[in-house]
C-alpha cells in the first residue's frame, strides 16, 4: 500500500501581509510579489504528479491556486471548509510584536 502525500501551500503575499494586518477570513488581494510567488510555485509544481488541487474560497488562496491550476492543468476544487482556523487566542502578528525573539518569523 502506498502512502498518501499532501502538500500544504500558503497563498502568495497579500497587501495586508505587507501592512502587517490580520487577515483571518477577511481578504486582501495578492501583491505583485505575491503573484510572482504564485507563478514561481506553479512552475515548480508543473512537473510534479498529483491527483487533485484544493483551495479555500478566499480570494488570496483561489488566486494562488489558479496560477497552479493553469500551469498543471488541474481542475480547481474550491471549498470554504479549507479556510484557516484560529488555534491560538492571540493572532500571530500580535505574538510577534509581544515576543519578537520567539522564533515565529515564518508566521
Residues forming the active site: 11, 84
The residue to which cell 471549498 is assigned: 79
SS3 state at 54: strand
Q: Decide if 68 contacts 52 (C-beta within 8 A).
A: no
C-alpha 42/C-alpha 76 separation (Å) is 13
Number of neighbouring beta carbons within 10 Å of residue 61: 22
Amino acid at each position: 500500500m502506498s502512502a498518501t502525500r499532501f502538500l500544504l501551500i500558503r497563498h502568495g503575499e497579500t497587501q495586508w501581509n505587507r501592512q502587517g494586518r490580520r487577515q483571518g477570513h477577511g481578504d486582501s488581494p495578492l501583491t505583485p510579489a505575491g503573484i510572482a510567488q504564485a507563478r514561481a510555485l506553479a512552475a515548480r509544481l508543473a512537473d510534479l504528479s498529483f491527483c487533485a488541487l484544493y483551495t479555500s474560497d478566499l480570494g488570496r488562496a483561489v488566486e494562488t491556486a489558479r496560477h497552479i491550476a493553469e500551469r498543471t492543468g488541474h481542475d480547481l476544487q474550491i471549498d470554504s471548509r479549507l479556510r484557516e482556523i484560529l488555534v491560538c487566542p492571540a493572532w500571530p502578528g500580535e505574538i510577534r510584536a509581544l515576543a519578537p525573539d520567539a522564533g515565529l518569523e515564518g508566521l
